[in-house]
């Protein structure tokens, strides 16, 4: 099967790290993209260019370097807004998706969630979309409710049953599971919640890098995602929130740049989005993030999705030949991202990851910050391979051969 959507070989030329030899001269095969992605030359060059050519703080000065830095920083915001079809005043730069979710839990949740209210999440969630709500529920003496999942994904009837009980203040749900790759039926979930006037928070950390995402079409109230999972640098995340929520929420962090006027005993907040961006921002990496979005736009997000469907389908077909291998979650490629979690019978996934590493193959092993879900699956950990635009079928073939070798060593 030949990929007809993108030129993988051409893309790989922009990723110098993919030429690296590891483990006694083995060619690196990077299959841990759900954790973080590699960075192309245009992103690295954009960051270096900022530091070498116009390093200055933003929003604070009128000299040329500062104006150039501010223009590049704010241009990245416009690129993010366009990428998800939001407006620039609804785009808040934070450190990562985790901070974005915590911002909502703190600035919106503390004001709106009261005793005996309910916060609803699912059994699919990453700890970043679980622990903040757990803490908020404990602090407010509210109740945290879980929507069950099965092999095909979220059980919608379970969600409806919980919503009908009443006093649900928020539903927070992952768009794509970081462990199973399951794509949740967000439009249906959001429509159902909005019919009961319940806002929806979306963890888009795995979906925004891999799918065309339109927040207007989804009509979500909040969405969190990170730059480093979509070819951008670490240290940059985004909170998208509808304007009327941001206008009525308190600031998350206070200090410089998020103020309009400070008097001895009172302060007037800055306009959106800067009300939520206190202090000196991560300027260089935000600019690098803008370059990452340019790169993905040049490929086309539908092409990204098509490639990942093909590469994941190919990997699943090849892995099906190894009868001792157990693959978790749906195998329906239309309802799955480029993530495959699996285990060998009677073998620990860490041991498997070490053996694959000997062949230069980087996969993740562990609970993947989703211990509620691993407990649901009846395991403490899984091995996980995850794909992106620079992964090829040749790499999958090497991965499969290495699994066969590992099976013999592990006597699985």
Active site positions, annotated: 369
**Local structure of residue 334 (DSSP, 8 states):** G
Euclidean distance between CA atoms 5 and 13, whole angstroms: 17
DSSP state string for 76-96:
HHHHHHHHHT--GGGEEEESS
Does residue 127 sit in helix, strand or coil?
helix
CA atoms within 13 A on the CB side of 95: 9
Least Cα distance to 167 among 190, 186, 141 occurs for 141
Length of the chain: 412
Euclidean distance between CA atoms 345 and 407, whole angstroms: 9
Euclidean distance between CA atoms 380 and 361, whole angstroms: 22
The torsion region of residue 257 among left (phi > 0), alpha (psi -120 to 50) and beta comes to left
Query: Distances from the Cα of 341 to the Cαs of 185, 213, 246, 289, 309, in angstroms?
Result: 20, 24, 37, 28, 15
Helix axes 41-53, 283-299, angle to 10 degrees: 150
**Local structure of residue 333 (DSSP, 8 states):** G
Helix axes 186-195, 156-165, angle to 10 degrees: 20
Contact predicate 69/55, CB 8 Å: yes
């Amino acid at each position: 099967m030949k990929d007809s959507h993108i030129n993988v070989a051409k893309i790989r030329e922009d990723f110098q790290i993919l030429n690296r030899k590891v483990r006694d001269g083995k060619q690196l095969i990077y299959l841990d993209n759900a954790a973080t992605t590699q960075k192309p030359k245009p992103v690295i060059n954009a960051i270096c260019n900022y530091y070498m050519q116009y390093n200055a703080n933003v929003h604070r000065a009128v000299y040329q370097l500062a104006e150039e830095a501010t223009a590049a920083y704010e241009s990245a915001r416009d690129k993010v807004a366009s990428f998800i079809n939001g407006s620039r005043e609804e785009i808040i730069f934070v450190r990562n998706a985790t901070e974005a979710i915590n911002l909502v839990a703190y600035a919106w949740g503390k004001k709106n969630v009261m005793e005996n209210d309910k916060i609803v999440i699912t059994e699919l969630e990453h700890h970043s979309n679980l622990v903040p709500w757990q803490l908020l529920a404990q602090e407010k003496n509210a109740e945290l409710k879980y929507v069950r999942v099965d092999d095909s994904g979220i059980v919608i009837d379970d969600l409806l049953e919980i919503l009908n009980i009443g006093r649900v203040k928020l539903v927070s749900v992952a768009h794509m599971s970081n462990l199973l790759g399951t794509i949740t039926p967000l439009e249906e979930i959001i429509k159902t919640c909005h019919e009961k006037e319940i806002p929806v928070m979306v963890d888009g950390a795995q979906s925004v890098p891999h799918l065309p995402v339109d927040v207007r079409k989804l009509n979500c109230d909040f969405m969190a995602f990170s730059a480093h999972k979509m070819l951008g640098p670490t240290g940059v995340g985004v909170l998208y929130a509808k304007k009327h929520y941001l206008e009525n929420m308190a600031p998350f962090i206070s200090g410089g740049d998020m103020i309009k006027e400070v008097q001895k005993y009172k302060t007037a907040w800055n306009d959106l989005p800067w009300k939520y961006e206190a202090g000196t921002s991560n300027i260089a990496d935000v600019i690098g993030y803008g370059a990452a979005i340019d790169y993905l736009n040049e490929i086309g997000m539908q092409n990204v999705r098509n490639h990942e469907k093909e590469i994941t389908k190919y990997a699943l077909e090849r892995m099906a030949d190894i009868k001792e291998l157990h693959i978790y979650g749906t195998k329906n490629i239309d309802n799955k991202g480029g993530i495959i979690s699996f285990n060998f019978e009677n073998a620990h996934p860490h041991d498997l990851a070490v053996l694959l590493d000997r062949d230069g193959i980087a996969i993740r092993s562990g609970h993947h910050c989703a211990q509620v879900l691993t407990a649901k699956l009846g395991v403490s950990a899984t091995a996980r391979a995850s794909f992106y635009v620079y992964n090829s079928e040749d790499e999958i073939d090497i991965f499969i051969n290495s699994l066969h070798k590992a099976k013999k060593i592990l006597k699985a």
